[in-house]
Amino acid sequence: MDIKELEKRITRLEDIEAIKQLKARYCEICDDTHNPDKITTIFAEDGVWESKEFGTAQGHNEIRELFKNFVKLFSFSQHNIFNPIIEVDGNRAKGTWYFHGNHTYRENGESNMFACRYEDNYIKINGVWKYQHLRLYLRMTSPDQVYEWNI
């Protein structure tokens, strides 16, 4: 294997690890009461957060406002992310993740468990990976609601 091929392979591995860290930061921000100021730091300026059940926001201002609504909705969340499939193509990448976690509603104190699938598009800006488009597909909530497979 020549040095160019080795550099290419190492860059791919570094990119995949950086994207995993990006998803971990996303989960940390969500579990920090869906911090509306921090969330914009991990999205491209024209980035999109999208969910049929929770709404769609494009750009930092809209994403911040969406997360302000999450602050009002949830008093607690625990994001557990697993099974990443990440494909890197230069300064763009795609990722699929599964999510399982608990949420507590601020209004009534009730807890709910969510099972979701994330379909993400990423972009590398000035050497840093950011979300270009995050799609959340709600698959199940506890205790008894199951959603169609819209994937």
Distant-in-sequence, close-in-space partners of 108: CB < 8 Å, separation ≥ 6 = none
Tell me the two tokens of residue 89: 């193509």
Residue 115's closest CA among 68, 73, 82, 74?
82
pTM comes to 0.92
% residues pLDDT > 90 (the chain): 87
Cα 35 to Cα 41: distance, rounded to the nearest angstrom: 11
| Sequence spans of domains, the chain | 3-146
Terminal alpha carbon distance of the chain: 39
Tell me the two tokens of residue 140: 């199940």
3-146 classified as CATH 3.10.450.50: yes
pLDDT per residue as tens digits for the range 63-117: 999 999 999 999 999 999 999 999 999 999 999 999 999 999 999 988 889 999 9
33: DSSP letter: T
